[in-house]
Structure 1
Amino acid sequence: MASDTDNKLTKAFAGIDPQNIRNVCIIAHVDHARYAGKLRYMDSRDDEQTRGITMKSSAVSLYHEPFLINLIDSPGHVDFGSEVNSAVNLADVAILVVDVVEGVCSQTESLLRQSFLSRLDVVLVLNKLDRLVIELKMTETEACLSQIITGTFLENEQEDMEKMEANEERLHFDPTKGNVLFASAINGFAFSLDDFASLWAPKLGIDKKELVDSLFSDFYLAGGKIKPDAEAKGKKSLFEQLVLQPVWEVHKVGLLDKDFDKLKSLAGKLGIPPITSRRLDEAFDEFMRNWMSLTKAVLKATLKGKSAKVAFNDEERAIMITNSKKHVLFEHVRACNKDSMAVAFVAKLLKFENHKVAMCRVLSGSIKKGIKLYAAGDDDSEPIEVDNIYALLGRELVPLTVAPAGSICAIELSSWLTGTTLCSEKIAEPLNFSASSLEPLVRVSIQSLGATEEWDDLREGLKQLAILDSAVRVVEQENGELALITAGEVHLQKCIKDLNDMGLINISVSEPIVPFLETIIPDPSSSFAKLTALHLTECFMRQFGLKLKLRAIPIHDDIVKYLQKHDKELKSIRERTAEEKHLKQFYDGLVGIFKETLPQMKGTVWAKKKEDYIQKLVDNIWNFGPFKAKYNILINGIDEYNRPSIWSTKDSAKTYWPLDRAVVAGFDIAMSAGPLCQEPLQGVCIYIEEWNYEPDDGEVSEAKSLAELNDPSLHGQLISAMKATCKAALDKHPRRLVAAMYKCKVQTASQALGKVHTVLAQRRAKVLNEDLNQMNGLFEIESYMPIVESFSFCEQLRKKTSGMAAAQMEFSHWQLIEDDPFWEPTTEEEIEEFGVKGDSVSQARHYVDMVRKRKGILEELIVISAEKQRNLKRNK
C-alpha cells in the first residue's frame, strides 16, 4: 500500500511546472563526504556501505511545495569519473563539498572543472567546521576559511576577454553572493552569511544588505557602526565577531565543556525550541539543527540556482549537447516543454530487486507508462516500450503516472538499450553529453561458465556497460574471448558488481593486466656518420624485384604530446574525413613544434637540420600510426614518389603507387607490436628513403609490370617485409619501455611516515613532494607510481600503517622507464659491483619478461650446466 509520501510525490510529478524543478548533484573529493552524516541512505549497494564511499550515482526526489528537488549523489573516487559525469549531465546545480581541514584536494579541481565545462551553478559547502574547534582547538581568529574559499578556484583559460570576465564571475565563490555555505553535516547544521545577517541586523539596527556585504570583508564593529581596516587596526573582523564567535561558543559548551544546562540556556536565549534529547551529543546536534538547519540552508542555496525550465536557455550549453543549432532536438531541449515531443537522456542502468530500470532525465515532453521510445541514431532498432515509471528514493522506487520535462526518473525497460538518447519519434542523430576523460587501462578477460545462451547474455551485459559508462571498453578478440578494459582497480570491481546485478553471476574473470608502450630513444654517443649509415635498413625482395630502404628515428616527447591533444584530427586524417580548415590548424601547429624540437635532438639524424628540411618532413608525412599506436609517424622520403598529400582534400593531380596501402599496412602492424614484448610503439618515425621496382631482366613490359604489382601475394609479402624491416630498424636503437603512471597522493600521521615511504619504495614509486599540512598536522606525500604496481596498494598501506594513511590515485601520464632492459655489466668496476650478468634484474627487464611470459614469447632457460647435475647418494 502506497504511503502518504509516495502519493504526494506521485501528484507532485504529475502537476509540477519545470520552473519549480531543481536538479542538483553532490560532488566531493572522496574523503570530504566521508562520515558526512550518520545514515548513508543513498549508498544502496553493499560494497558502498562496506567501503564507506559512494561508487555509483544514485538519486532521491524530494518535494518541498511547490518545488521538486532531484538530488543526485556522485562518487568522489577518481576511478568513478564516468559516474560523476553522469551526475553532472543530469544536473543543473552542483553542491561542491570541501573539508575545511583538508582544504582543496586532488579531486576538487577536476570536479569543479567538470561542473564549469557543463555550465552548472556551483554552491561551495565548507564541511566539517566542528573539526576546527574540537580536533584542532583553533580559535575563531585562527580559522582561515577565506584561504580555502580563495583556493577553491579554477584558472580561467579563455582567451576572449569578454568571455573571461563573464566566466570569472561564474567561477568566483563569494559568501556575500550566497554561493558559499559553512557546515558540519555530521551535526546537521549549515549557514550562509544571509542567515547571520538576518539574526543580527534587527539587533544592531543595521541594514541587512549592508551587513551581508561587509560580513566577510575587512570590516569590524565599533559603537554600533561598521568600520573598515580591521586587520590593520588589530580588530576582530565582523565574521569573527558575529559569526564564528557564537558558533565556537556553542561548540565549546556542548562538546568541550559538556555543560547540558548552559546549552539549554543558550537555546532559550536564541529563541530555539527547547531541547528534548537526554544525551549530550544528541542534544548538541538537536540544538544546531534547530538553530541553523543544514537542510534549510542547502535548500535555500539550491533554489537560487537555475531551474530545469531555463537550464538549457543558455545557448552555449544547448549547443554542447546538440553540436549545432540545426540539430532537430535543439529547440526541444531549450524549450523544456512538457507537451512537446518526448526526449530523455539515459545516464545509468540500475537494478532494483527484479526491476531493470534506467535513470534518465526528461529533457522534453512527458514520459508515461506504455509510451514507445526510439534510440536516436539507431535506425534499425525496435522501439522500447516503457513498462513502468518510477521516482527514485535512494534504495526505493515510487511508481509514477507521468514524468514531465525537466524531471529525473527511472523507467522500467522491456529490452536492452542501444543508445542513451530516447525519443518518441525516430531521430537520426543522438545528443552528445560530455564523456568521461578517464583513460581505460586495466584489462581483464571475462568468460561465461555456462551454456551458449549465457555467453550471449554476457555479451549484451558488457555492451550495456560500454554504452552507459564512457570509461569502459569492451573488445571481442579473434578467439572469441571477451576483454573488459576499465579505469582502475576499484572501477573494475564496480563493473564486475554491475554485471552481477544484471544477473551475470556465473562468470570467470582473469587477473588484471596493465598495458605498456615501447619506444626508441636518441643515442648521443653515436657519431653523425654512424647515425646516417648504420641506422639505414634495407630489404630486397628478389622474386618481385622490390627494394625497400628505411630508417627508424625517435621523435620528441613534445610532438607526442601535441598528437595526443589532437586525437580527433588524427582519426579524421586516417579516415580521410578531415575538413580543410581543421587540417590547416593542425598542420601549422605541427610544423611549429617540429621546427622547435627536432633540430635540438642530439643523437638523431634530425640534429641541426635547417627549417626548410623540417618543413618538408611535415609536408611529406605519409600517415600516422594505427588506432592502437596513433602517436607514430610514417614519412615519405622518396623524391620520385609524389603522392597525394594528407594535408589536402583536393590534391587530385598526384597519384598513389599500386602498393601504397601495403606499405602503410606493414607500418601499422610494426607499430602495433614492438620488438621488446610486442606492446604498441609510441614516439617513433619511420622514414622511407627508397622504394622501387627493379625486375631481374630489366625489360618487362608496363602491362606485365602492373599485373605483377597488383598480385595479392606481392601485397602480402610487402606487408611482411615492411613489418620486418621496421623491426630491424628499431633494433638498431636503444629500446625502452613506457609505463602508465598514477599520480599518488598519500596523507599520513608523522608516526607512520617511514612505513608509507617503505610501501611506496616497494611499489617502485618516485616521490615528488612531501609537505606538512598546517591545518591538520598530517604529512602529504605526492609520488608517481606505475599502475602495474598499484594493485592492492591502498589495502597494503592501511595494514602497514594501522589505518593512519590514506591514498588517492589518478592516471597522470605515460613515462619512459630509463633502465635498459638488456643492460649487462661491461667494465671491470660494473662486473665487480654487479657480477658478470648483473646481480639484480632491472625494473624494465622485469616488466619485459612479465609481459613476454604472459604472451607466451619468453624463452626461459630452465636448466643451466646440465652435465654437472647428479643424484645425491641416499643415506640408509
Structure 2
Amino acid sequence: MNPAVSSTNATISSRVAQLQTRPDCIRNICILAHVDHGKTTLSDGLLSSNGIISSKLSGKVRYLDSRPDEQERGITMKSSGVSLLFNVMQRVKCPSGNANEFETKTNEYLINLIDSPGHVDFSSEVSTASRLCDGGLVLVDVVEGVCTQTHTVLRQAWTDKVKPILVLNKIDRLITELKMTPSEAYTQLNQILEQVNAVLGSFYSEALMKDATKKYEAKVALGDNFDIDVGIDDATCDTDQVDAPDMDDSDIYFSPEKGNVIFASSLDGWAFRVSQFAQMYAAKLGVKESMLNKVIWGDFYLDSKAKKVIGRKKLCGRLLKPLFVQFVLDNIWAVYHAVIISHDREKIEKIVKTINVTILPRDLRSKDLKALAQNIMTQWLPLSKAVLLAVVQHIPSPAVAQADRLPQILYPDDATSAAAHLQTDTPSSGLSTPIQKLTTSMEQLQFATDREVLDKAVYACNASTDAPVVVYISKMFSVSRNSLPKLGKQSSIDPDTMLLRRQEIIRKSRALDREKAIAGIDDASLGLNNTMDKPTIFQLNSSHASSTNDSFSHLENDEVLVGFARIYSGTIRVGQTLNVLGPKYNPLFTDTNNSAYYSTATVERLFLMMGRDFEDLDCVPAGNVFGILGLQDHVLKNATVSSTLACPSMAGVKTDIKPIVRVALEPVDPTQMKQLVHGLDMLNRADPCVEVILESTGENVIVCAGELHLERCLRDLRERFSRIQIQASPPIVPFRETLSIFPRIVQQSVSIQPEDTVQAPSTLFNTESSMPLPIGTVMQETKNKMCGLKLRAVPLPPIVRDFLAKSVGRVQIIDAMKDTQKRGEALQEFELELKASMDHAIKEGDGVVSKVDWNQILQGIVCFGPKGIGSNILSCTAQTYSMNKWNQTSFKKDYGELKLDQTESTPTEWTSKNARTAEFENSFVSGFQLSAASGPLCAEPMSGVCFVIEDVQFMTASEQDEVTRHATLPGQILAMMRQAMKQSFLQWSPRLMLAMYSCNLQTPTDILGKVYGVLNRRHGRILSEDLKEGTPFFEIMSDMPVVESFGFTDELRTRTSGAASPQLMFTGFQVLDQDPFWVPTTDEELEDLGEKADRDNLAKKYMDAVRKRKGMFTEKKVVEHAEKQKTLKNK
C-alpha cells in the first residue's frame, strides 16, 4: 500500500462528518512519552500534512500547545485533540477478473489524535487521554533512552488496553550531537528496544501471576482438592490441576519487522519503518519484499559473494555490517554528513538525484544547512506517511477495539466473564448474578434486557438510532466563549482559511493589548500581582457593589466548560436529553440510593475539536472523539452520559499521581470572595488532578500534584476563572508523626507547649508495686476521679505500617459492607494478610519491639486511625472487660444500645465493668481518632503507632454523685484518652516522617558537580548514578523532601544553564531519623558541638516551622546565647 495525502477542494469539516459514520475508517490515538521527547513536535508534523500549519513551522509553532504558559515553558500541560485526514491508495484486482489488470483504490481515514503532557505533574492528563483512545504512539528519545515517565505511560497503555506503536525519536541527535557511527547507532537503538520490551515483559509476567492466582482461588472456592505428592527430599504440588492462563505474549512486544516500530526525527520531519526500505531494495536484490522485511532488522548480514543473507553463526570472523546498518543507517548518515558536516555540494546533488527528490537551486545555495537537510529528508522519508500508515495498519478501529477494551471498563471486577459473554453470546455469570439475586418482576426483567442490549451495542460500536447512547466524559476543559463558533454561522473552513483566521485572532488580540495599555489597564487589574491601589479595594458603596455584581455576571458567562468525550454506542444529537452518571452510580441500586449520583442534562452543542479551534456538529455517531457543551453543572472531573439508566458508570480514572502540595487561598479584596468560590468550582471541574477543600476553619485550600501544577492552577484562577487578585499562602506540605523503635537512653524534659503535662498519681490503680512500667505506658484519670486508664504506646514495625497505609481504601470498603457473609470473608482475608506481615516483620527482626505480645494486640484491634482507616491501631487487651472489636462481623457503632443489667440489688454501684466500659466506648474511640489525626509534635497525623488499652477502672459512687458526675464523664474520658496518648507517645523517641519526592534527572558529565551541590543543599540523597552507555549523560536517581523542593527546578536550571531538568514524583513518607528534642549532653557531644549546639537539628526546624504556622507554642528565645557584652561608647 502506498499512502498519499489528498489535496481535494472538499472542506475538512464536511469530509470528517462523512467519515464519522464509518467506524472501520476511524482511528483514535494518543501520543505518550516522557517530557521533552518530541510529542508536540511530532503532532506539528502530522498537522502540517493536513495543511493546518505550514511545514516550515513544524516543530516551532507547537500548535496544540494553546496556553501561553505552555509556549513560554516549552512543555505541554494539558491534553488536546485534533482530527486529521489520511488517504491510502491500494492496488486491487480489476472486477473483470484478469490477473494482470489492477486498479487503484483510495481509502480515506479519520485520525483522531490527542497530544498528552509528559511532565509528571500532569500525569492525570495522560490517564484521561488514554481512556478515549484505542492506540498510542509511545515516543522514546534515543539519546535519553527509557525514562521514568516512559515506564508510567507504558503501564497506562497496558492498563487501559491501548495498543502501542513505538517511535524511536530524535535519531538526528545521534549524528549531530553524539557523533556516532551507523554501527554504534544501531547498537544504541537495539538496546533501547530491548529495554522497552523488558518493561512490557514485566507487565505480562505480573498479569500472568494475577490470573493464575485468581484461577487457583476460584478452584479452592469451588472445593476442588489438590493432590500433594510428598517425596523423600521435598514436597511438590501437582500444578497441572491449575490451568495455565490463556495469555498470548506474541503480540505485546515491539519488533521492527512487525511494523510497530517507527524510526524518526520529528524535528527534521522524517520517519520510516523497515518495510519502506524492504520495498526499495526488494527489486534491486531480486528477493521477495516479505522475506527482506523479516531480515532487515536483527543480526542478519548480506554475503555479497554468495549473494545471500546469513546469520551471526555463519560470519566466520568476517566484519560484515548488519543489513539495517548497510541498507538504512548508512544512507541517512550520508545525507547528514554531506549536508551538515562536510557540506559537499557535488555529493548533495548526487544524493538528491539518487533518492529522486526535488530541491530548488536556491535551497542548495542556502546557508541554513539544517533547513536543507530537513528539506531533503522530508521529501525522501515523509513523517506523516510513515506514522499515519502505521496507525492505519496496526491500531484497531473502534468496532474492533471496543470489543476488547470495553468489558474491562464496564465491568472491572468481572472483565473475564464479560469477555466470555461477548464471545459466546450467552448470559455471563458476572452480569447475571446480581440480577438473579433480585426477585423476578417486570422491572428487573426489563433491566436485564436493557443491559443485554447495551452490552451488545457498546461492544459492536453500534451507531444506529435504536442503539442506546453511551458517552464517556474523560475531563472537562475551559475555553473562552468567544473562541467557540457562533451559532447559526457554521462554515466550511479549508486549511488556508483556518490559518488566516488564526492569524486574524492573534492580530486582534495584540490590538486589544495595545488599547489596554493606552487606557492604563495593566496586569494588576487582572490579579497578576499585588500592586493594586489598596484604598480603592475597600470602597464599599452601591456603585462598587453594582460593578462587582456586573463583573461576576460577566465572569460566569465568559468561561465555559467543554467535555472531552468519546461515544461508544448510538448517536448523540444536539438538544437530546440524557442521563449524566457519576462515578458512584450503580444501576443495581434503587432510585432512592442513586438519586444523588445521576442527573439529566440537555446537550447544547457538539464540537469537532481542531486543536485551538472548534467546528459545530449536529450529531456524532459511535466511535468518535468530540467536544460537548451543556454539562458544566452536572460533571465533576469525569462522568458517563447515557440514554438508559441500565448503563454502568465508566467514570473514575485511576492515576498513580496523588496531589500533595496544599495552598490556602483568599482574595486580596474580601468583597470578592464570591468570585474566588466560583473560580475554585470551575478549577475543580476543569482539572482532573486538583483537589479543592473547604476547611472547617473556613479556609479555601487547593491541593496540587507539584510546584508546576500549583503554578498553573493559580494562574488559571487569576487570569481565567476568578479574574481577581488572589493571595496564596506558602505551600503547606504534610508531615507524619511516628515513633522510633529505640527509646531515649536518657529521658529529657520535653516542653513543646506551655501547659504542665506532668503525670498525676493515680488513685484508681495499684501503684505500690516497685516494678517500673514499660516504656510508653501511662496511667491517667479523669478530673472527677471517676475513671482511670492504663495505656501503652508501641511503634508498629515498618512492614506493618506500610501494609496498613496501602490498605486504607480496602479498610474503608470493608467498613461499608452491609452483606454479613462478604464482610466476614473480606475481614478474614485482611486479618490473614495483616498477621502475615507481622510474622514476616518478627522473623526478619525489622523494627519489632521485643517483649510485646503482638498476637494478642492483633486479636484485640478495636479500630484504625485517623478517620477509621489510617495506619495507627487502637487495641484492647485488658482481661477484666471487653470492647467491640473491629473484626466482628456485626459491628455496632451505636454504643447506646448496650443496656445495664437490672438484676443487681445495689443501684448505687456500677453493675458490670463490661457494660460500664461499653457505655463509654465511643469516648475512648473518639479520643483515639482525634489524637491520631493531631499528634503532639506539631499537630500532624500519626503513622505507625499502636495504642494498647491495658486496663480501665471506674470508681463506684453514691446515687447523688452518679447523677451529677455521669453527665460530664464521656467528655472527660475523651480528654483523658487524648492526654494519655500524648504522654505515652512522648515517652518514646518521637520522629517526624517527611513527604518525599523521587528525583530523576539526566545531566552531562561536566556539570555533575553542580547538580550534586544543589541536591545537597536541598537535603537530597543520591540513590544511584549510572553513565548511559554510548552517551555523555549520567542518569541520577535521588530522593528529596517535598518541603525542600520548592524552587529546586529553577535553581537547578540556573546552576546548570538549563542542561539538567528534574522529574519529581511523590513516593510516600519517609522517617527522618532525628529526635526533634535532642540536645548535646555527653562530654563528647559537648566537646564536638558545644553547649549552643550550633549544628541545626533538622527535625526541630521542621517541627517548629509547622507549629509556628499553626499558631502553636514554640521554644524560641528572644535573646539566645547572649555572651557578648554591649559595647559602650563614652562621649
Task: Calculate the TM-score normalised by the size of structure 1.
Answer: 0.91
Gaps in structure 1 of 5+ consecutive residues: none
User: 2-side partners of 1:865 and 1:432: how far apart?
Assistant: 58
Q: Does structure 1 residue 547 correspond to structure 2 residue 788?
A: yes
The residue correspondences of 1:439-478 to structure 2 (distance < 5 A) are 439-449=658-668, 455-467=673-685, 469-478=687-696
Q: Does structure 1 residue 724 correspond to structure 2 residue 724?
A: no
Amino acid at match of 1:444: V
Per the alignment, in what secondary structure is the counterpart of residue 54 of structure 1?
coil
Amino acid at match of 2:462: N
Amino acid at match of 2:809: K
Partner of 1:756: 1011
Amino acid at match of 1:690: D
Partner of residue 366 from structure 1, selected from 562, 568, 571: 571
Q: Does structure 1 residue 350 correspond to structure 2 residue 431?
A: no
Q: Does structure 1 residue 115 correspond to structure 2 residue 115?
A: no
Q: Could you list the per-position Cα deviations for residues 391-419 of structure 1 after superposition, in whole angstroms to 9, with x for gaps in the alignment?
A: 11111112222222111111223643334
On the 8 A contact 2:743/2:988 being kept in 1, the answer is no
Partner of 2:309: 226
Partner of residue 102 from structure 1, selected from 130, 144, 160: 144
User: 2-side partners of 1:366 and 1:500: how far apart?
Assistant: 38
* Residue 123 of structure 1: how far off its partner (Å): 0.7
Partner of 1:423: 641
Amino acid at match of 1:204: L
Deviates more, 1:776-785 or 1:550-559: 776-785
Per the alignment, in what secondary structure is the counterpart of residue 309 of structure 1?
helix
Deviates more, 1:377-386 or 1:852-861: 377-386
Instruction: Note closer, same or farther for the CA distance 1:5–1:165 as it changes in structure 2 (3 Å cut).
Output: farther
Q: Does structure 1 residue 379 correspond to structure 2 residue 622?
A: no
Q: Does structure 1 residue 283 correspond to structure 2 residue 372?
A: yes
Runs of 4+ in 1 over 6 A off after TM superposition: 3-6, 161-165, 524-527, 651-656, 865-876
Partner of 1:635: 875
Q: Does structure 1 residue 693 correspond to structure 2 residue 945?
A: no
Q: Does structure 1 residue 202 correspond to structure 2 residue 463?
A: no
Partner of 2:861: 621
User: 2-side partners of 1:163 and 1:243: how far apart?
Assistant: 42
Q: Does structure 1 residue 13 correspond to structure 2 residue 8?
A: no
Amino acid at match of 1:347: S
Per the alignment, in what secondary structure is the counterpart of residue 297 of structure 2?
coil
How many equivalent pairs are there? 862
User: 2-side partners of 1:343 and 1:308: how far apart?
Assistant: 14
Q: Which has the larger radius of gyration?
A: 2
* Residue 181 of structure 1: how far off its partner (Å): 0.7
Instruction: Note closer, same or farther for the CA distance 1:822–1:510 as it changes in structure 2 (3 Å cut).
Output: same
On the 8 A contact 2:468/2:644 being kept in 1, the answer is no
* Residue 601 of structure 1: how far off its partner (Å): 5.2
User: 1-side partners of 2:722 and 2:1027: how far apart?
Assistant: 47
Per the alignment, in what secondary structure is the counterpart of residue 579 of structure 1?
helix
Partner of 1:318: 408
On the 8 A contact 2:476/2:685 being kept in 1, the answer is no
Instruction: Note closer, same or farther for the CA distance 1:202–1:584 as it changes in structure 2 (3 Å cut).
Output: farther
* Residue 643 of structure 1: how far off its partner (Å): 4.2
User: 1-side partners of 2:10 and 2:323: how far apart?
Assistant: 45
Amino acid at match of 1:338: A
User: 2-side partners of 1:865 and 1:120: how far apart?
Assistant: 63
On the 8 A contact 1:275/1:287 being kept in 2, the answer is no
Partner of 1:151: 195
Partner of 1:40: 62
Q: Could you list the per-position Cα deviations for residues 357-393 of structure 1 after superposition, in whole angstroms to 9, with x for gaps in the alignment?
A: 2221122222222223332147366633332221111
Gaps in structure 2 of 5+ consecutive residues: 1-6, 43-58, 88-107, 213-242, 419-430, 432-447, 485-559, 586-593, 747-769, 899-914
Partner of residue 394 from structure 1, selected from 611, 615, 618: 611
User: 1-side partners of 2:1110 and 2:81: how far apart?
Assistant: 44
Deviates more, 1:593-602 or 1:24-33: 593-602
User: 2-side partners of 1:244 and 1:714: how far apart?
Assistant: 84
Instruction: Note closer, same or farther for the CA distance 1:542–1:769 as it changes in structure 2 (3 Å cut).
Output: closer
Deviates more, 1:820-829 or 1:344-353: 344-353
Per the alignment, in what secondary structure is the counterpart of residue 137 of structure 1?
coil
Per the alignment, in what secondary structure is the counterpart of residue 1008 of structure 2?
helix
* Residue 77 of structure 1: how far off its partner (Å): 0.6
* Residue 576 of structure 1: how far off its partner (Å): 5.2
On the 8 A contact 2:473/2:641 being kept in 1, the answer is no
Partner of 1:607: 850
Instruction: Note closer, same or farther for the CA distance 1:467–1:688 as it changes in structure 2 (3 Å cut).
Output: farther
User: 1-side partners of 2:604 and 2:568: how far apart?
Assistant: 20
Q: Does structure 1 residue 248 correspond to structure 2 residue 336?
A: no
Q: Could you list the per-position Cα deviations for residues 64-111 of structure 1 after superposition, in whole angstroms to 9, with x for gaps in the alignment?
A: 253111111111111111111111111111111001111111211111
- Percent identity between the two aligned chains: 34
Amino acid at match of 2:322: S
On the 8 A contact 1:446/1:509 being kept in 2, the answer is yes
Partner of 2:834: 590
User: 2-side partners of 1:196 and 1:414: how far apart?
Assistant: 50
On the 8 A contact 1:629/1:671 being kept in 2, the answer is no
Q: Could you list the per-position Cα deviations for residues 19-54 of structure 1 after superposition, in whole angstroms to 9, with x for gaps in the alignment?
A: 221111111111212766233111111111111110
* Residue 248 of structure 1: how far off its partner (Å): 1.7
The residue correspondences of 1:123-272 to structure 2 (distance < 5 A) are 123-143=165-185, 144=187, 145-152=189-196, 153-154=198-199, 155=202, 156-158=205-207, 159=209, 160=211, 166=247, 168-222=249-303, 223-229=306-312, 233=317, 234-272=319-357
Q: Could you list the per-position Cα deviations for residues 607-634 of structure 1 after superposition, in whole angstroms to 9, with x for gaps in the alignment?
A: 266xxx5433322211111249711111
On the 8 A contact 2:678/2:721 being kept in 1, the answer is no
On the 8 A contact 2:570/2:622 being kept in 1, the answer is yes
Amino acid at match of 1:572: I
Q: Could you list the per-position Cα deviations for residues 213-261 of structure 1 after superposition, in whole angstroms to 9, with x for gaps in the alignment?
A: 2222221111331111166644221212222222222222222222344
Per the alignment, in what secondary structure is the counterpart of residue 136 of structure 1?
coil
* Residue 600 of structure 1: how far off its partner (Å): 5.9
User: 2-side partners of 1:480 and 1:167: how far apart?
Assistant: 55
On the 8 A contact 2:608/2:626 being kept in 1, the answer is yes
On the 8 A contact 1:379/1:426 being kept in 2, the answer is no
Partner of residue 664 from structure 1, selected from 888, 912, 925: 925
Instruction: Note closer, same or farther for the CA distance 1:93–1:770 as it changes in structure 2 (3 Å cut).
Output: same
Instruction: Note closer, same or farther for the CA distance 1:168–1:475 as it changes in structure 2 (3 Å cut).
Output: same
* Residue 639 of structure 1: how far off its partner (Å): 2.4
Partner of 1:405: 622
On the 8 A contact 1:102/1:775 being kept in 2, the answer is no
Deviates more, 1:776-785 or 1:669-678: 776-785
Partner of residue 503 from structure 1, selected from 709, 714, 721: 721
On the 8 A contact 2:339/2:348 being kept in 1, the answer is yes
Q: Does structure 1 residue 337 correspond to structure 2 residue 462?
A: yes
User: 1-side partners of 2:245 and 2:192: how far apart?
Assistant: 23
User: 1-side partners of 2:738 and 2:793: how far apart?
Assistant: 11
Per the alignment, in what secondary structure is the counterpart of residue 851 of structure 1?
helix
Amino acid at match of 1:633: I
Q: Does structure 1 residue 849 correspond to structure 2 residue 1104?
A: yes
Partner of residue 556 from structure 1, selected from 797, 801, 809: 797
Amino acid at match of 1:286: N
Task: Calculate the TM-score normalised by the size of structure 2.
Answer: 0.72
User: 1-side partners of 2:691 and 2:299: how far apart?
Assistant: 53
User: 2-side partners of 1:571 and 1:650: how far apart?
Assistant: 16
User: 2-side partners of 1:89 and 1:169: how far apart?
Assistant: 24
User: 2-side partners of 1:289 and 1:867: how far apart?
Assistant: 75
Per the alignment, in what secondary structure is the counterpart of residue 1007 of structure 2?
helix
Partner of 1:493: 711
The residue correspondences of 1:771-790 to structure 2 (distance < 5 A) are 771-790=1026-1045
Per the alignment, in what secondary structure is the counterpart of residue 1067 of structure 2?
strand
Alpha-carbon RMSD: 3.2
